[in-house]
Structure 1
Amino acid sequence: MSGGHVNDHQMRLFMKHRQSDPLPVAAAKAGISRATAYRLLKDGRLPSQKAEPRGRRRPDPLAEIFDAEIVPLLQAAPGLRAVAIFEEMLRRHPDLSPGVRRTMERRIRIWRARHGAVQEVIFRQTHEPGRMGLSDFTDMGDLDVPVTVAGQPLKHLLYHFRLAWSGFEHAHVILGGESYVALAEGLQNALWALGGAPRLHRSDSLSAAFRNLDTDARTDLTRRYDALCEHYAMEPTRNNRGVAHENGAIESAHGHLKHAVNDALLMRGSGDFADLAAYRAFIDEIVARKNRRNATRIDAERAVLQPLPPVRTGDYEETIVTVTSTSSFTLKKVFYTVPSRLIGHRVKVRLYDDRLDLFLGVTRLMTLRRGRAPGDGKHGHVVDYRHVIHSLRRKPMALMNLVYRDQIFPREAYRRTFDSLIEQLPERTACKIIVELLSLAHERGCEAELAAALTEDLEARRLPDLAELRARFSPDPASLPVVSVQLPSLAIYDTLLTGAAA
C-alpha cells in the first residue's frame, strides 16, 4: 500500500506466499508494492528489527545522584521503600523536581532486579488424594460485622481443617487461644465429620500453645500431640516457625473462609446471635456450602482415607482440684463456684475449650462454663449464685465487699437493682433485700421473670416490694390448702370381687 509503513505481519505474509506464488502475486496478497517486495528480499530483516533504539530526549535528572547517593542507600538498607528514598533525595536536593518520582521508582526496581538480594523461592507441590490434611487457627476479630452473642462481643478464633487434595474443610469456633485442647477437639470433629483420616497431618509449630510453658510442659504437649496423631494413624508434621507459606494449602483458605463469613454476616444484616450454638450452626452452614461445591472430589478422596479408630481419644486436659471453704476452686487463674456439699473434696476436672466437666471418682457431677482470665494479671470468675445463696441468706452483709460481687448477679437487672438499693437504703437493708431476691429467683425458678419485674421497677424509679414479688410469683408453701384424702372401706373390694366371680 503506497505511503504506508510495512509491518512485521505483512513481511511474514509476503514470505509465506513467496514460497508458492510469483513475487508480484505474493506482494499483492501481502498488500505491498513490487519494489518493496524486492527490497524486503534483499534485506531479510523484519521492519521491527530495523528500528533504531529510542534514545534519551532530555538530560537524565538522576544522573548525578543515582549511583552516588541512591545506590549506597539501597546497599546499606535493602528494605528501604522507594518512596522513602525519594523523600530523602528531595530533602537533600531541594531543586529536584517532584515529577521524577516515577522515574526514580522505576530505576530502583530495575536496580533491585539486577543487583538486589536473592529471595526465597516457593516450590509448588503436587498432592495425592488421602495423603495430607492441614490444621491452623485464624482470628475472627477483624470482620466488618462484629460477632456478638446475646449482645455481648464474642472474642474468638476459628480452628480450620482442610484436605490438601480435595479441599474438604471443617471449622470450629474456639473461645480461648490456640491450645492443644482446641486443636484436639477441632481435629477430631473434622475427622469424624469426614469419616476417615489422611496419612499425614500438618500443623504450625504450636508456638502459640507453647507460649509461657516451661520445658517439661512443652515436652508433654508435644508428646500428647504425637499420641493424638498416632491414635488416628497419621504422621505428624509441622512447618517451620514463622514460615506461613509451608502451610499454604490452608493459609490461603483462611482468607476465603473469612471473606465468606463476612459476606454472610453482611447479607444477614446483623452479627448478633441468640447463643453460641446459633453462631456455630451459622459457621457450619457456610462451610457446608463450600464443601458442596467440591463434593465430587471430596467423595473421591474419602474413598482412599484411612479408617477411623473405634473411639475418639481425649480432647481435654485433666487435673485434680480441691474445693475450698469458699465453695470454690481456682484453675488457670479462673475462680469457679460449686455446690457447698463438695467443700473439702478432691474433684477431677476435665478442661475443654468451652466447658469443664467435674467428676468425683468416676461419677460425673456437673458441667461448668469455662472462664478466661482477663489478661491484666487479675483472675476471672465463673459464679453461680445458686451454689452459695443458702449461706449468703444467713450472712447477707458478706455481699457488700464480696470479691466476686459483680459476677454473682445472674442478670443485669439484679445488679442495677442492688445499685439502686445502696443509693437509697442502709447497706444492711440493701444487702438483705437483694439476697432475698436472689433466693426467690432460685427457690421459685423465676430468674428471668423476676428480672423483668425488677426492670419495670427500675424504669418506674421505685424500689422492689419483696412481699408483693413473693406473692406474685408463687404462693407461700405454708399457705397451700390442706388436702384431705378419705380412704374407701375394704368391704367395697369384697363386693367387687364377688361381682367379678358371679
Structure 2
Amino acid sequence: MGSRVGLFAVIRRDARVEGLSIRELADRHHVHRRTVRQAMASALPPPRKTPVRVSRKLEPFKVTIDDWLRADLDAPRKQRHTAKRVLDRLLDEHGAADVSYSTVRDYVARRRPEIAAAAGRTLSQGFVPQTHEPGGEAEVDFADLWVVLRGVKTKTFLFTLRLSYSGKAVHRAFATQGQEAFLEGHVHAFTELGGTPIDKIRYDNLKAAVSRVLFGRGREESGRWVAFRSHFGFDAFYCHPGQEGAHEKGGVEGEGGRFRRNHCVPMPVVDSIEQLNELLVAADAKDNYRRIASRTNTVAQDWAFERDTLRPLPSEVFPTWLTLTPRVDRYARVTVRQRHYSVPARFIGRRVRVQLGASSVTAFDGRTVIATHERVMLKGGQSLVLDHYLEVLQRKPGALPNATALVQARASGMFTAAHEAFWAAARKAHGDSGGTRALIEVLLLHRHLAASDVIAGITAALTVGSVSPDVVAVQARKTAHQCSADAVIASPNTTPAGDRVVSLTERRLAELPADSRPLPSVSQYDELLTRESS
C-alpha cells in the first residue's frame, strides 16, 4: 500500500501544479485512467478486493459438512468433528476421493465459528480486565514438577499460592497432592507472607478441599478443610470445573508454567524434597525483582505495600498432619497409604500412632517418637531402617545378607565401607553366624554413640586385627571423649593412653587394686612326701 500512496501523491501533485488532464497523467505515470480518477478522488488508495475462491471439488459436500458441525454444538467437547474426521467421513460415506485435507481444514476452521455464532453460541469467551485490592485475594493451584531425585527422574507436585494484587507467589514442592500437602502448603505460604488475604482465595475443585461439586457454585467441603479456613479466617471461591473455569484464576494458572520455565529448566538434581524446597525459596526471592507485564513497580515494591494489608496469623498452630493408628505387621512395618514404613521390632502386633505429613511419616508410642521416615513416593514402596531389626537379627543372623533394610542402608550410606570390612573380618574369624552377631553388637552401638565415633572405633579395631565388639566400643568411647575434650576434666595422675588400642580385659585388670598378699607356697605338701619315704 505504501507504493500506491506515493503514486497517488505524485499524480495529485502533477494535476495540482501543472494542470495535466487525466489522459496526460495516465500517460506520464504509465497507469490506467481509472487509477488516475481514484487518485484525484482520494489520497488513500481503495482497499484491494480479496478474491473469493470457490473449491469446486468441495462444493457438493458443504451442506453435509455444515450439518455435521451443527450437530457438534450439542455433542461432548471431546467428541466433536475434527478436520481429519470430516475428511474420513467424506471418503467413507460420500466417496469424495478428490478432496484434499487442507481444503477441508480451511473450510471447517472458517465455518465452525460462523455456525456457532448463528446458533447464538460462541466458541471463545470474552474476558474482562480485573483490578484487585491490596491484600484482598489470592489464588492457589498445584502443578507438575519433574526433578532428578537421587538419580531418578521423579514427578513432584508444585504448590503455588499467588497474591492477586502484587503477584507475589510462594512455591513449595511435595511428594503428593493429598490434603496434608494442601494444608501444609497453605501454612508455609501464610508464614512466608506473614498473613492471609482478607477476602478470599480462588481454587479448583481439588479433592483435598471439595468432597462433592454441587449445582452452580455450590460445593460440599470436607470438615477438616472448613476447620482450617475458619482457623485462618478466609473464604474459598471455587471456579467452574474444567477449562470453563480456568480463566477465573488465570494468574496462578500461568504462574506455574512461568516458574517452571525460568527456574526448573533443566530439571533440578536433588537428594531430597527438602533440598528441592531450598532451591524454590531462593527462586522466590529472585522473583521479587521482576516486573509483571507492563507494571511500573517490581513485585517486591507492590508486595511491600500489600504486606501490611493482610490479616494477621492466629497464634495457635493448626495440625496439618493426618493421624492414623495402624497395626505393626510381622515384618515390623506399618502400612500408610499403600506404603510401608518400619518401626522397632518390639512393637510387632501392636497399634501405634502415626502422623502422616506431606513429606514425612512419624510413628509414636504414646508421646515417644519411635520412628521417623521420609515419605515414600512410589506406591507399594517401603522405607526400612536396619536398626529396627537388630534384635530379630541377633536370633536370625542368617537373614542379614539379603535383608531389604541392609540394601537400603547401603544405598543411603548408613552402612559404610568400615562396616563391610568389619563384617568380612568377623565372619572370617568366627564364621558366618558368629561374625554377623559381632557386627550386630557393633551396630547396636549406634543407638548410644555418634556414627563417626563408632566408625572410628571400627577402624581402630581393624588396625590391630581385632574383631571384638568390646574393642570397638572402647575405642568409640575414647574417640567421643577426645572430641568433647572441653566437657571432660582430665585427672593429673592419669597417664594418657594415646592412640594405643587395648582390650577390654586388659583395661579391667589395670583398674584393679594392687595385690599385697604373699606368694603361695607348697612347702606343706613337701612334708607329705617325706613321711611317705620314711
CA spacing shift, 1:304–1:107, aligned 2, 3 Å = same
The CA distance in 2 between the partners of 1:97 and 1:337, in whole Å, is 67
User: Structure 2 CA distance, aligned partners of 1:93 and 1:326?
Assistant: 68
- What does residue 494 of structure 1 align with? none
With normalisation by structure 2, the TM-score equals: 0.65
- Distance in 2 (CA, whole Å) between partners of 1:382 and 1:220 is 36
| Deviation for aligned residue 1:196 | 1.5
1:440-478 per-residue CA deviation (whole Å, 9 max, x = no partner) reads 344366979999xx9xxxxxxxxxx9x958369954653
Q: After TM superposition, give the deviation of residue 6 of structure 1 in Å.
A: 6.8
Unaligned 5+ segments in structure 2 are 27-32, 74-79, 213-218, 291-298, 475-503, 515-534
Q: Which amino acid aligns with 2:388?
A: H
Alignment counterpart, residue 57 of structure 2, candidates 61, 67, 73: 61
User: Structure 1, unaligned stretches of length 5 or more?
Assistant: 18-22, 213-218, 455-464, 488-502
Q: How does 1:91-106 map to 2 (within 5 A)?
A: 93=95, 96=98, 98=100, 101-106=101-106
Which structure has the bigger radius of gyration?
A: 2
The answer for the alignment partner of 2:275 in structure 1 is 278
- Say whether 1:131 aligns with 2:136: yes
Q: SS of the residue aligned with 1:481?
A: helix
Pair 1:290-2:282 in alignment: no
Q: Contact 2:145–2:156 (CA<8 Å) still a contact in 1?
A: yes
Structure-2 residue corresponding to 1:496: none
The residue aligned with 2:310 is 305
Q: Say if 1:159 and 1:173, in contact at 8 Å, map to a contact too.
A: yes
1:292 is paired with a residue whose SS is coil
Instruction: Please give the alpha-carbon distance, in whole angstroms, between the structure 2 residues aligned to 1:396 and 1:135.
Output: 52
Aligned with residue 507 of structure 2, among 459, 471, 481: 481
Kept after mapping to 1: 8 A contact 2:321/2:355: yes
Q: Deviations over 1:228-254 (max 9, x none)?
A: 122221112222333433332211111
SS at match of 1:64: helix
Query: Does the 8 Å CA contact 1:393/1:436 hold for their aligned counterparts?
Result: no
Name the structure 1 match of 2:487: none
C-alpha separation in 2, matches of 1:53 and 1:155:
52
Structure 2 CA distance, aligned partners of 1:55 and 1:27? 40
Query: Residues 76, 301 of structure 1: CA spacing in aligned structure 2 closer, same or farther, 3 A cutoff?
Result: same
**Secondary structure, aligned partner of 1:310:** coil
Return the letter of the residue paired with 1:71.
D
- 2-side partners of 1:13 and 1:226: how far apart? 78
| Partner in structure 1 of residue 68 of structure 2 | 73
CA contact (8 A) 1:353 1:370 kept: no
TM-score, length basis structure 1: 0.68
**Given the superposition, is the C-alpha separation of residues 148 and 381 from structure 1 closer, same or farther in structure 2, using an over 3 Å criterion?**
closer
1:321-470 equivalences under 5 Å are 321=326, 327-340=332-345, 347-361=352-366, 363-366=367-370, 368-372=372-376, 374-375=378-379, 379-397=380-398, 405-409=403-407, 410-412=409-411, 433-434=435-436, 436-443=438-445, 470=467
Equivalent position amino acid for 1:112 in 2: R
2:306 and 2:275 map into 1 onto residues whose CA distance is 30
Other-structure match for 1:202: 202
Flag the structure with more relative contact order, 1 or 2, with Cα contacts below 8 A and sequence separation at least 6: 1
Structure 1 residues 164 and 434, CA, compared in 2 at 3 Å: closer, same or farther?
farther
**CA-to-aligned-CA distance 1:393-446 (integer Å, 9 cap, x gap):** 12334558x9xx32344114979999xx9xxx9xxx757655654543443669
Distance, in Å, in 1 between the alignment partners of 2:49 and 2:284 is 59
What is the SS of the residue equivalent to 1:140? strand
Letter in structure 2 aligned against 1:65:
F
Q: State whether residues 340 and 388 of structure 1, in contact with CA within 8 Å, keep that contact through their aligned partners in structure 2.
A: yes
Distance in 1 between residues matched to 2:389 and 2:3, nearest whole Å: 98
Aligned residues of 1:322 and 1:344 also touching (Cα < 8 A): yes
- Give 1:393's aligned amino acid: Q
CA displacement, residues 136-182 of structure 1 (integer Å, 9 cap, x when unaligned): 111113xxxx4223x3444421111111111111111201x212211
| Matching residue's letter, 1:368 | T
